[in-house]
Amino acid sequence: MQPQTLLFHLSGLFPQRLHIVRLGLLLIAMITTSMQLIAQEYFYYYKGKKQPLTLNTDYAYIVAPGSIGDVQQLNAMLNSKAVSTKLNRIEQTRTLKSVDANLPPQGFWGELKLQNKLSSTQYHSYLNQLKGAGFKIASPYFSNAAEKKIGLTQYFYVKIKSANDIALLQKFARDNKAVVVGQNQFMPLWFTLSTTEASTKNALQLANSFYESGLFTYAEPDLMTENDATAPNDPLYASQWGLSNTGLYGGTVGTDVNAEAAWELTKGSRDVIVAVLDEGIEMTHPDLAGNIFGTGFDSESGTSPALVLGNHGTACAGIIGAIQDNNVGVTGVAPNTRLMSVSNSLLGTPLSRQKRADGINWAWMNGASVISNSWGSGVAYAVIDDAIDNALTNGRGGLGTIVVFASGNNNAGVSYPANSNPDIVVVGAMSECGQRKSPTSCDGETTWGSNFGPTLDVVAPGVLMPTTDRQGAGSGYNSGSAIHPGNNGTWLASDFADTNYTTWFNGTSSATPVVAGVAALILSVNPCLTHDEVEDIIEASAQKVGGYAYAVSAGRPNGTWFNQMGYGLVDAEAAVQDALDLLPSKSGFDLFTKDRPFDTGVEPNADTGPMWISEDIWVRRNADGGASHQNPEYKTSSPNAVYVRITNRGRLTSTCANLSLYFTKASTGLVWPTHWSNYFQATSAGSILHGDKINTVSIPEIAPGASYVVEIPWFPPNPSDFDADIHHFCLLSRIESPSDPMFNEQNGVGVSINVKNNNNIAWKNVSVLDEESDGSEAGTAVFIRNVERKESYLALRFFDRGFKENFKIRFFERGGQAIITGDKYFMERLKTAKISGSVKQLDEKTILIYGADAAIGALLVKPKETFLIQLKTKIDLAEGEETVLDVFQQNENTKALEGGERFIIRPGKDQKGLAIIADDKRSTITTYPNPVKDELTVKYTTSTESSVVKISVNALYNTSKQSVLFEGKRQRGDHQEQFNVKSLPKGIYLITIQVDDQVLTERFVIE
């Protein structure tokens, strides 16, 4: 075909673009490439084996020209030859670490539905016409045995053989006119690449070329499938027969998971977290909110919090962990477990496989004990396989996260990824009569069947499953009027009138969370089991239902097995009992973490000093194994590391022990578990997570008298989420073992009591005031809280001598001073308090502390009341010197220490310019109001007749962009400036005043 013939055809599609004749030579090259593609076999490589594909000429994938931003514009450009069925902005996840500087603009991707049937030759010619007409990318669609519609994007994934091969990857990409989009932060050997407008091959061809070169471990194209959720769209639900089958809907009485008997043993544990990798959980649902863990993760954007991208995730979550005995809705299989939302679009989108892998990696790295996956993929990916293997190998501190997958709903062989790894727990669906769900099973649903075959492990109830639905009419599956064709041709009652719930959820999507819930019950009674042991228990305890010919089978060591039912119906009660039977019988070991440097582990600790200064807990901003404590740093590219030292003071080697780590915003008053578990607090940005579990990891065996340091990755919260305070968090570690139980742990009391009584629990509330650490330190925030349920009177004290510690430099003796800026509530209450010692009120919101005898006593604090103070320190220290200031809260009646904070003070690059406040002269910076909306007032003092003053402001995490508010000279004395900040975005800012050679900084929030 001649170029002008192609252009003639193209003119009908794009009448406004007849000027493209000059592209004729380019089209000749494209035709050559197209003919090569037509002649070749369609396939991609998965772990070295060719995976066949068939061309689907009904659709095309495009990246639109830069001028196109909506479907109407695109369809106008396409004329009548094709119609756009999708147009979405390309979102590259933030979990990719940038490698190449010059990346193509992202723009919009779209799916085109061709209006006429084309031959393969015509189809490839049409794709070339699209590229010649200005579309940046035009790629084909395919199909395979599992999926009818598979789109090829511009992306592909490559796993290099070693970390030294990055340069090789970049060169190979350049030679093939591709670009390296980024490096996967969770799996650094994996890279995402993209074709460009200059590429002569599409992503499928390039991936194959990369793999066939022999230079790389894997190379796979990014293929989209239409819908990866395993739940069919049919309305199927009526009641919770799967938990207790009484014969409802004609079912077989007693054919259920024995949930009620299991609940006599356990209803789960809040230390066990089940991640739901799906379309996101509606975390405000009244039947789920109390069991939500943290804020979750959105794998589409690579950021927190998780989003709600569809109905599917909320329905799966309810089956696992809906709250029990709350007089609303339904109950989950493990109603006391915690739910982690990992949101992902189950519709095919560019980079969706990388994003699925990111979601799996993020889940296990952030504490998921179990990952429930009610989704499948029509194409297999090593990038997903590696993520699953990471979870199975590294999750739960090396014991392995339990990964549960749906077998699929095609009434055929087990689908991918369920069939990709023998350590995955593969779940099929069962009818209410104990049959494999098939088009002929008793439920009457003739449109689908549960997948089966050699890799199937167990089955669970999978039809007519009531569960939580997205709230409100018009959201979710329940429209309030649906009916369902029941067994024997009858019709079942309509769906729930309460549209927060549905009886419509079914498929292996609903069976999978049942088994995930059972796994959570198992781990709640025996958290030291490996993932292999949990899988063995689930399989060996399964019920042989349905009258099938279960038999001993090769490669199936956990009892009799049948290819349509696996080992049979999961049995929650028997599985929990088996887990209890595997608990270690021996005791005689005693693990502890020091509360203080001189703690010996005796319970209770007879010392009356502070319990929040553990040196056995410390933070490093990178997992570098360093031994000194640093303030945590917010970053998305890599985690901080928390280190906890554990010592065995017993006579036997320890076994079966885990370590749970919690964080909360620091306060002098903290209650267990209120402030440490799913603790949200209202802020100007809404309800923000202030405290929760970080992770639970396994403790290896520790010999008598020996110690072991556990490393736990931690992604601290984003400081911009909070009204005050950059990095200030308390940490709490808890050693959990059936053979080393807690000693007199109480709920609803100040955490200091539990730490004092129990050597399994340690507390760290230590901040480093060191400008060198982040270049911006100007103080920190402290919460003052009442830990009692009644009105209390507190005393705040300031101490520089340590507690049985010998500090070389004492803060106040060196001339150190602390400046406290209180919120309006604190300052109002201060009017009735008793102030004594070295305390001086400087103005309506600022107090100076300049001696160890300083005390603020008789401070009235009401139940659940919280005050916020900002504390700064000023002291002259030489390089290498260090001092300590303790601020603690004491009950005026009992004199007991209720909590406090230690500040380790080191010299920093801004510290040298800070002036000490004397009684007759002070040189400070005060800003108010804080937070501020419109106008910020700044007060400061100059000490010379003609001081050079510069006032500037910059966002805390964008220090390179500095705005100068004032620059000039001021005479000696007090000054006040007012600045309009209405035009600045919301966030945390630093305001800096330079007076001659003196520099002072203050942090403020724009709301």
Catalytic pick among 343, 431, 450, 509? 509
Check: CB of residue 429 under 8 Å from CB of residue 450: yes
* Final residue in a domain of this structure, among 892, 921, 950: 921
Q: What is the pLDDT of residues 663-689, one digit of tens each?
A: 998 888 889 999 998 888 877 667 788
* Closest CA relative to residue 513, chosen from 654, 345, 347, 312: 312
Q: Residue for token digits 């340091």?
A: 709
CATH number of the domain bearing residue 789: 2.60.40
| The pLDDT of residue 799 | 87
Would you say residue 4 has pLDDT above 70? Answer: no
Cβ atoms of 930 and 846 within 8 Å: the answer is no
Q: Output helix, strand, coil percentages for the chain, rounded to the nearest 5.
A: 20, 35, 45
* Better-scored residue on pLDDT, 123 or 65: 123
Tokens 């010392």, residue located:
607
Q: Is the overall model pTM greater than 0.75, yes or no?
A: no
Coil, strand, or helix at residue 898?
strand
Domain boundary among 921, 940, 966: 921
Sign (positive or negative) of CA dihedral 892, 893, 895, 901: negative
Q: Is 261 helix (H, G, I), strand (E, B) or coil?
A: helix
Residue 950 in domain: yes
Residue 755, φ and ψ in degrees, nearest 5: -65, -40
Burial degree of 352 (CB within 10 A; 0-12, 13-18, 19+): buried
Statement to judge: residues 459 and 505 lie in one domain:
yes
CB 112 within 8 A of CB 151: no
What pLDDT is recorded for position 984? 81
Distances (CA, A) of 403 to 369, 422, 425, 570, 713: 9, 11, 6, 16, 20
Going by pLDDT thresholds of 50, 70 and 90, the confidence category of residue 168 is very high
Beta-bridge partner residues of 849: 818, 839
Tell me the CATH number at 986: 2.60.40.10
Say whether 485 sits in a helix, a strand or coil: strand
Residue 923 has pLDDT above 70, yes or no: no
Tens digit of pLDDT for each residue in 188-200? 999 999 999 899 9
CATH number for the domain harbouring residue 265: 3.40.50.200
Comparing CA positions, the residue from 696, 717, 718, 700 lying closest to residue 709 is: 700
Q: How many Cα atoms sit within 13 Å of 143 on the Cβ side? A: 9
pLDDT of residue 924: 56
Q: What is the pLDDT of residue 916?
A: 33
Angle between helices 120-132 and 24-39 (to 10 degrees): 150
pLDDT-derived band at 226, boundaries 50, 70, 90 = low
Q: For 70, what's the count of Cα atoms within 13 Å in the CB-facing half-sphere? A: 2
pLDDT at 299 over 70: yes
Of the listed 124, 312, 484, 727, which one is catalytic?
312
Q: How far is CA 567 from CA 597, 678, 800, in A?
A: 53, 37, 65
HEC assignment per residue over 72-115: HHHHHHHCCCEEEEEEEECCCCCCEECCCCCCCCCCEEEEEEEC
Helices 508-525, 531-540: crossing angle, 10 deg rounding: 110
Q: How many domains does the chain have?
A: 5
Average pLDDT of the residues in 608-629: 88
**Same structural domain, 753 and 797:** no
Q: Check residue 485 and give its pLDDT.
A: 55
Q: How would residue 910 be classed by pLDDT, with cut points 50, 70 and 90? A: very low
Same domain, residue pair 557 and 652: no
pLDDT of 228? 59
Tokens of 17: 């673009």
pLDDT range class, residue 415, cuts 50, 70, 90: very high
Asked if the bond preceding 604 is cis, omega within 30° of 0, the reply is yes
**Out of 256, 278, 578, 616, which one is annotated catalytic?**
278
Say if residue 921's pLDDT is above 80. no
Say if 273 falls within a structural domain. yes
Contact 1006, 984 (CB under 8 A): yes
Percent of the chain whose predicted confidence (pLDDT) is above 70:
87
Average pLDDT over residues 5-16: 33
**pLDDT, the chain, mean:** 84
Query: What is the longest distance spanned by two Cα atoms in the chain?
Result: 99
Residue 734 and residue 754 in contact, taking contact as beta carbons nearer than 8 Å: no
pLDDT of residue 284: 93
pLDDT at 234: 32
Are 729 and 850 in a shared domain? no
Q: What is the mean pLDDT of residues 727-742?
A: 86
Q: How far is CA 847 from the centre of its chain?
A: 40
Query: Does 918 score more than 70 pLDDT?
Result: no
Residue 732: per-residue pLDDT: 95
On whether residue 237 sits in a domain, the answer given is no
Q: Which tokens sit at 12? A: 């009908």
> Is 687 tagged catalytic?
no
The per-residue pLDDT for range 329-377, each reduced to its tens digit, is 899 999 999 999 999 988 788 998 999 999 999 999 999 999 999 999 9
Question: Amino acid letter at 651?
Answer: R
Asked which of 238-247, 307-316, 550-559 is least confident by mean pLDDT, the reply is: 238-247
Mean pLDDT, range 274-297, rounded to an integer: 94
Q: Are 399 and 463 within one domain? A: yes
Give 718-771 as a 3 state SS string: CHHHCCCCCCCEEEEEEEECCCCCCCCCCCCEEHHHHHHHCCCEEEECEEEECH
Q: Is residue 715 part of a domain?
A: yes
Query: 32 or 19: whose pLDDT is higher?
Result: 32
Mean of pLDDT values over 3-16: 32
Distance CA 291, CA 306 (A): 15
- Residue 478 shares a structural domain with residue 454: yes
pLDDT attached to residue 772: 40
Which among 863, 831, 243 is positioned nearest to 573, based on CA atoms?
Answer: 243
| Residue 276 and residue 416 in one domain | yes
**Predicted pLDDT at 495:** 62
Strands 425-430 and 402-406 come out as: parallel
pLDDT at 662 over 90: yes
Model confidence pLDDT, tens digit, residues 782-822:
888 888 878 889 999 998 887 777 788 999 988 889 989 88
Same domain, 556 and 535: yes
239 located within any domain: no
Q: How far apart are CA 478 and CA 475, in angstroms?
A: 8
Do residues 803 and 758 both lie within one domain? no
For residues 753 and 897, the answer to whether their CB atoms sit within 8 Å is no
Query: For residue range 424-452, what is the model confidence (pLDDT) as tens digits?
Result: 999 999 999 999 999 999 998 899 999 99
Residues of the domain holding 12? 3-225
Strand 370-373, strand 402-406: pairing: parallel
Look up residue 305 and give its amino acid. Answer: P
Catalytic residue check, 441? no
Could you read off the pLDDT of 951-986 as tens digits, one per residue? 888 765 454 466 888 888 888 777 888 888 888 887
Which of the two residues, 80 and 649, has the higher pLDDT score?
A: 649
Question: Between residues 207 and 70, which one has the greater pLDDT?
Answer: 207
- Higher-confidence residue: 6 or 844? 844
Residue 164 lies in a domain: yes
Rounded CA-CA distance 318/347 in Å is 22
Active site residue 509: yes
pLDDT tens across 109-165, in order? 989 999 888 999 999 999 998 988 888 899 999 999 888 899 999 999 999 999 999
Does residue 912 lie in a domain region?
A: yes
Tokens 């990246």 correspond to: 63
Give the count of beta carbons closer than 10 Å to the beta carbon of residue 848.
19
Residue-by-residue DSSP string for 367-383: T-SEEEE-B-BSS--HH
- Which pLDDT belongs to residue 15? 34
Per-residue pLDDT of 535-583, as tens digits, reads: 999 999 999 999 999 999 999 999 999 999 999 999 999 999 999 888 8
What is the SS3 string spanning 831-849?
A: CCCEEECCEEEEECCEEEE
> Do 113 and 188 belong together in one domain?
yes
How many residues comprise the chain? Answer: 1007
Give the residue from 760, 571, 792, 764 showing the smallest Cα distance to 666.
764
| End position of a domain, from candidates 548, 581, 614 | 581
Identify whether residues 300 and 400 lie together within a single domain.
yes
Please check whether residues 751 and 665 belong to one and the same domain.
Answer: yes
- In-domain check, residue 235: no
At residue 1001 the predicted structure's pLDDT band, cuts being 50, 70 and 90, is low
CA dist 721 and 879 (Å) reads 34
